[in-house]
């Protein structure tokens, strides 16, 4: 039972869902949301306030200006893409405190949250997951 408890504690320590991210952003929590995809995909659509830092370019140099006390939330397209995992790994290696957004941009949109960019949306006022 202890292993199972630790598994769930670890998931909550290292992952965040779109509902909790939205609540944290609205509350003004100290966050850096990082879109780990290619710049052209970020320009098309991204989470409002997110910065674009493709996982392949993460380094001491490219992260120099980022707040090391903030929680970093890494995301990509969704469950079929592991860019968020690669970004979370890279940022952790660089000494940041990191969570990976479960379901990425896909689940952010499915839960009705707005996006920015050339194909951005206003979102849906109904939240699908309030967990």
The whole-angstrom separation of Cα 33 and Cα 96 is 12
Helix, strand, coil distribution of the chain in percent, nearest 5 = 35, 15, 45
Positive/negative CA dihedral, 116, 119, 122, 124: negative
The whole-angstrom separation of Cα 9 and Cα 19 is 18
DSSP at 27:
T
- pLDDT digits over 36-72, tens only? 999 999 999 999 999 999 999 999 999 999 999 999 9
Q: State which residues of the chain have pLDDT below 70.
A: 122-131
């Amino acid at each position: 039972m202890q292993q199972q408890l630790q598994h769930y504690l670890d998931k909550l320590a290292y992952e965040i869902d779109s509902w909790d991210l939205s609540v944290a952003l609205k509350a003004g929590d100290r966050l850096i949301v990082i879109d780990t995809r290619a710049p052209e995909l970020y320009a098309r659509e991204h989470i409002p306030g997110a910065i674009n830092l493709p996982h392949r370019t993460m380094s001491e140099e490219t992260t120099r200006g980022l707040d090391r006390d903030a929680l970093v939330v890494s995301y990509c397209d969704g469950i079929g893409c592991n860019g968020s995992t690669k970004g979370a790994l890279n940022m952790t290696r660089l000494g940041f405190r990191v969570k990976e957004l479960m379901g990425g941009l896909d689940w952010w949109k499915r839960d009705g949250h707005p996006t920015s960019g050339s194909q951005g949306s206003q979102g849906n006022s109904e939240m699908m997951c309030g967990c």
